[in-house]
Amino acid sequence: MEFFNNQNPHLTEDEAELYDRQIRLWGIEAQQRMRNSNILIVGMRGLSNEVCKNLVLAGVGAVTILDYQIVTEEDFGAQFFLRVEDLGKNRAIAAAVRVRELNPRVAVTAETDNLLLQSEEFLQKFDVICLTNCDISTLIKADNLCRKFEKKFYAASAHGLFGYIFCDLKQHEYIVERKEIKSGREDPEVKRTKKYLEYVSLGTALSKNDWSAVPFRKLRKVSPLLWANQILWKFQEIEGRLPIQDEDKDFAKLKSLRDTYLPSMGVEPSLLANELLSIISRNLNAELSPVCAIVGGILAQDILKGLSQKDLPINNFFFYNGLDGSGLVYQVEPEKAIF
Partner 1 sequence: MSRNSHIENILGPSLYEIVLTSRVLVVGAGGIGCELLKNLVLSGFRLIELVDLDTIDLSNLNRQFLFQKQHIKKSKAHVAKESALKFNPNVEIISHHANIKDPQFNVDWFKRFNIVMNALDNLEARRYVNSMCLAANVPLVESGTEGYLGQVTVIKKDMTECYDCQPKPMRKTYAVCTIRSTPISPIHCIVWAKSYLFSQLFGISEEEEDSPIQESNSENAEEIENLREETEALKQIRLAMGTSEYPRKVFQKVFTEDIQRLLMMEDMWKTRQRPVPLKYEDLEQIPCEGEDEIETNDSNTLKNQRTWSLRENFDVFIRSLKSLSARLLEEQKIKPDALLSFDKDDSDALNFVTATSNLRARIFGIEEKSIFQVKAMAGNIIPAIATTNAVIAGIIVIQSFNILKGRLDECKTIYLDGVRRPNLLPSESLKTPNLNCAVCRNSHFILKINTKVATLRDFVEKILCNHNIGGLDYGDVTVEEGASLLYDVEYDDNLDVTFEQLKITDGKLIRVTSEEDQSNHEPAIFAISHRESFNSPNDWYEIEGEVLGISSPNTKDQDFKPAPTLKRKLEAYAELEETSSALKRVQLDSEIIVPDDEIIMTEYGLDEQSDDKSGFS
Scanning residues 284 to 303, which ones bind partner 1 (CB under 8 A)? Answer: 285-294, 296-298, 300-301
d(CA 99, CA 108): 7
186 sits near partner 1 (criterion: CB under 8 A): yes
Nearer to partner 1, 73 or 120 (CB): 73
Q: By CB under 8 A, what part of segment 7-26 binds partner 1?
A: 10-11, 13, 16-22, 24-25
d(CA 263, CA 31): 46
Angle between helices 46-58 and 91-102 (to 10 degrees): 30
d(CA 51, CA 67): 15
Q: By CB under 8 A, what part of segment 31-70 binds partner 1?
A: 32, 46, 50, 53-54, 57-59
189 sits near partner 1 (criterion: CB under 8 A): no
CB of 130 vs partner 1, minimal distance in Å: 14
Nearer to partner 1, 144 or 278 (CB): 278
CB of 47 vs partner 1, minimal distance in Å: 11
Nearer to partner 1, 136 or 294 (CB): 294
E strand map for the chain:
38-42, 62-66, 107-111, 128-132, 152-159, 162-168, 171-180, 189-198, 317-321, 326-330
CB of 71 vs partner 1, minimal distance in Å: 11
Nearer to partner 1, 257 or 294 (CB): 294
d(CA 324, CA 326): 6
Nearer to partner 1, 78 or 271 (CB): 78
Nearest to 327 by CA among 303, 289, 297: 297
C-beta neighbour count of 97 within 10 angstroms:
15
Beta bridge mates, 224: none
1 sits near partner 1 (criterion: CB under 8 A): no
CB of 29 vs partner 1, minimal distance in Å: 7
Q: By CB under 8 A, what part of segment 111-140 binds partner 1?
A: none
Residues binding partner 1: number (CB under 8 A)? 73
CB of 171 vs partner 1, minimal distance in Å: 20
Spatial contact of 63 and 55, defined as CB atoms under 8 Å apart: yes
CB of 33 vs partner 1, minimal distance in Å: 12
Q: By CB under 8 A, what part of segment 231-260 binds partner 1?
A: none
Nearest to 35 by CA among 15, 64, 13, 14: 15
Nearer to partner 1, 25 or 115 (CB): 25
d(CA 19, CA 242): 42
CB of 200 vs partner 1, minimal distance in Å: 17
327 sits near partner 1 (criterion: CB under 8 A): yes
d(CA 320, CA 324): 9
Residues 6+ apart with CB under 8 A from 22: 31, 58
Nearer to partner 1, 238 or 312 (CB): 312
CB of 113 vs partner 1, minimal distance in Å: 26
d(CA 24, CA 129): 27
Nearer to partner 1, 81 or 126 (CB): 81
Q: From residue 96, how far is each of 65, 81, 218 by CA, in Å?
A: 7, 8, 44
Q: By CB under 8 A, what part of segment 74-103 binds partner 1?
A: 74, 76-84, 101-102
CB-count exposure of residue 85 (10 Å: 0-12, 13-18, 19+): exposed
Identified binder of partner 1 from the candidate list 156, 267, 329, 332, rule CB under 8 A: 329
Nearer to partner 1, 65 or 257 (CB): 65
